[in-house]
Amino acid sequence: MPGTALRQKFSRPENDRQVMTSWERFLQGDEPGSDALRRLIDDSWRRCHGKVDPTRDQAPPPISGDPLYGLLEHSADLIEASASVMASARDFLSETGTVMVLTDAAGVVLSIEGDTSLRDPAENIHLMPGASWSEASCGTNAIGTALEIGQAIQIHSSEHFCSGIKRWSCSASVIRDPISQTILGAIDISGLTDSYSRHELALAVAAAGRIENRLARREMNLRYRLLDHYLNRLNQAGRDGLIVFDRYGRAVKANDRAAELMTHLAKSRNDQATTIRDLTLPWRDGKLAPEKMPSWVDHDWIEPVTAEGERLGSILVLPDRSALVRRTAIRDVTQSAPTTDAFGRLIGAAPPYVAAVRRARQLAKASVPVLLLGETGVGKDAFARAFHDMGPNPKGPLMAVNCGGFSRELLTSELFGYAEGAFTGAKRGGMTGKIEAADGGTLFLDEIGEMPLDLQPHLLRVLESGEVCRIGENHPRKVSFRLIAATNRDLQAEVKAGRFRMDLYYRIAVTSLALPPLRERRSDIVPLAQHLLAQIAARYDRPAPQIGPEMQRALEQHDWPGNIRELRNALEGSLLICDGDRLEAEHLPHDLGLAEMSSSETPQSDQPAISPLELVEREAIMRAIRAHQGNLTSVARELGIAKSTLYVKLDRFGLKESVAILRTAQA
């Protein structure tokens, strides 16, 4: 009876002690023997018996890195459709003692939002992205059991099969494909036992319904775009047969000749004829061809259909003549393959650097969010540029933002932009933020570890929903970009310390690339110095001098805590005081602690080495000096410091001779 079936879905906490007794009897080999035990729970326990350890107290360790990224990419449609639901959970479940969990069809967690007070208890049982909560992994639980039986269910306390999870209460509903009705995943509401409410199951069912509706709207929109794209082709195909397939390989449209030609071609290959409705061409993302094709279908007859970088489907061209129709791929008009290897511009042959470049080339072609890891000055910005130039949208914009270079308010405006009148001093007409400006290209967020904690959820929402709202606006704007982030911090440690959001970390760090510091690639220092010296000399409109043996030895011996940025500054300072065509060790700035290593005759500096932070300051002063041709009054005014302070810094950074040379050149 419907009423009985409905009651089977809900837990009854008042029966908890009796259910616990039934569980103990069941593990001892006896029949549970209690009316308090629901049939769905009894069936689940029997499926788990002998396969799942009843003493388990957490899910298996979660996957991470590239496997997790691959999972998130494979589930991108489900994640996007659930973005607004999960965002609502972040707000409305914040003080309820519960969290909302999204999983794929195998029960692997994709996203989790809700009350942050549950973060530690949830992590203790591995209720986190990448962890599997299938029935086979964790025994009876709402996620795994709902996926197993294909319907919503609530599981409370002692109803769980594993003892270590019995302090939890959870309610889950499956999410189905709106067209094929296959299970795509599950949505779950979980909390400790005292958070139990029958309404949680209703919330899970309602959330699953909202996600399914968004999936249906998206699927119909893609199908309309697919049919619109090929409408003229279908009407003007001549004697050829055309069959249009959606991105899942399902036939959605065909012209009048298709059925006849399909039957003829199948018979010519002694293959069993089928109807167009039953013909499928399953084509997974990243594959160059469908996984399974009838023997009579030639690969050259299949054309993928893409628009704005998104695959809409494919078309099968059935020729009406003996000559095969050569395949013409329909390419996105916004895309063009780069003709040069952007990574070839990077200088380095040391094994750790070559390995980093090799991995970067592998990652560049896909729209993969990449987290660049490395010390200050290792060249993360150069890698970001190469990723963009070798990526799927090299002609799109590359927008870079240093998250550590702005106050919270300025960074918010820089990233998200603002509407006219959003605040006092806002520009007329508003301002486009870097996120919006990166649409169709690449967004490079340097020093992302410096991003204020309260700003991180807003960035996460953009990444999950593909929409951005300017400050002072209510309507979202669609954006599509590749994200490249960089940091010199240990973000995992930052997450543990509560200074960086775990969900944002998983979003940006699923694929990472570590760049070696200069001291770990000493064989590259001299070739890199020669390359940088040529660039610096060209800026000053003079020939690049040679690097003498003593200077080469000094460069190779230094540890370069500021890496390439420090090397560039040292070379620039050396060039400015060199009158000949050869740089020697004596031209190196003494404050960098280099000259004393090159020769015992070179006097040692009493000043401490410049820190990485001071290197950035030195670079800013040098830019201002060049811009104002050595006019120190103008330099101090631009930098916002007193002239006396500027003199102290010139002495500290060894720039007095550089100023004198510029003044002489100007005179």
pLDDT score of 599:
41
Residue 499 clears pLDDT 80, i.e. is over it = yes
Residue 430 clears pLDDT 70, i.e. is over it = yes
Dihedral sign from CA coordinates of 595, 599, 601, 607 = positive
H or E segment to which residue 80 belongs: helix 76-81
Residue % of the chain over a pLDDT of 70:
85
Contact in structure between 159 and 171 (CB atoms under 8 Å): no
Q: How far apart are CA 505 and CA 495, in angstroms?
A: 8
What secondary structure letter does DSSP report for 577? T
**How much is the average pLDDT of 462-484?**
90
652 φψ region: left (φ > 0), alpha (ψ -120 to 50), beta (else): alpha
pLDDT score of 428:
72
CB burial of residue 287 (10 Å; 0-12, 13-18, 19+): exposed
pLDDT score of 302:
79
pLDDT digits (tens, 9 = 90+) for 566-584: 888 888 888 888 878 888 8
Secondary structure class of 471 (helix, strand, coil): strand
H or E segment to which residue 446 belongs: strand 442-446
What string of DSSP letters covers 468-535? E--BT--S-EE---EEEEEESS-HHHHHHTTSS-HHHHHHH-SSEEEPPPGGG-GGGHHHHHHHHHHH
pLDDT score of 150:
94
pLDDT digits (tens, 9 = 90+) for 96-151: 999 999 999 999 999 999 998 998 999 999 999 999 999 999 999 999 999 999 99
Residue 523 clears pLDDT 60, i.e. is over it = yes
Q: How far apart are CA 77 and CA 215, in angstroms?
A: 8
**How much is the average pLDDT of 450-472?**
91
pLDDT score of 621:
82
Residue 508 clears pLDDT 60, i.e. is over it = yes
Residue 1 clears pLDDT 70, i.e. is over it = no
pLDDT score of 136:
95
Output the average pLDDT for the chain.
Answer: 82
Contact in structure between 207 and 100 (CB atoms under 8 Å): yes
Q: Model confidence at 303, in pLDDT bands (50, 70, 90)? A: confident
**How much is the average pLDDT of 488-494?**
90
Contact in structure between 170 and 180 (CB atoms under 8 Å): no
Instruction: Report CA Rg, the chain.
Output: 31
Residue % of the chain over a pLDDT of 90:
37
What is the maximal distance between C-alpha atoms in the chain? 102
Residue 330 clears pLDDT 70, i.e. is over it = no
Residue 418 clears pLDDT 70, i.e. is over it = yes
Residue 483 clears pLDDT 90, i.e. is over it = yes
pLDDT score of 157:
93
Q: Which residue has the higher pLDDT, 408 or 156?
A: 156
**How much is the average pLDDT of 465-482?**
90
Amino acid, res. 230:
Y
Residue 339 clears pLDDT 70, i.e. is over it = no
Q: Model confidence at 331, in pLDDT bands (50, 70, 90)? A: very low
Token pair of 382 as six digits? 């150069």
Residue 76 clears pLDDT 50, i.e. is over it = yes
Q: Model confidence at 283, in pLDDT bands (50, 70, 90)? A: low
Residue 19 clears pLDDT 70, i.e. is over it = yes
Residue 667 clears pLDDT 90, i.e. is over it = no
**Half-sphere exposure at residue 313, Cβ-oriented, CA atoms within 13 angstroms:** 25
Contact in structure between 509 and 484 (CB atoms under 8 Å): no
Residue 378 clears pLDDT 80, i.e. is over it = yes
Residue 217 clears pLDDT 70, i.e. is over it = yes
* Nearest to 85, CA basis, from 9, 150, 175: 175
Q: How far apart are CA 50 and CA 47, in angstroms?
A: 8
pLDDT digits (tens, 9 = 90+) for 582-637: 888 888 876 554 444 444 333 344 455 555 556 667 777 877 777 776 778 777 77
Beta-strand ranges (E) seen in 66-108 are: 98-104
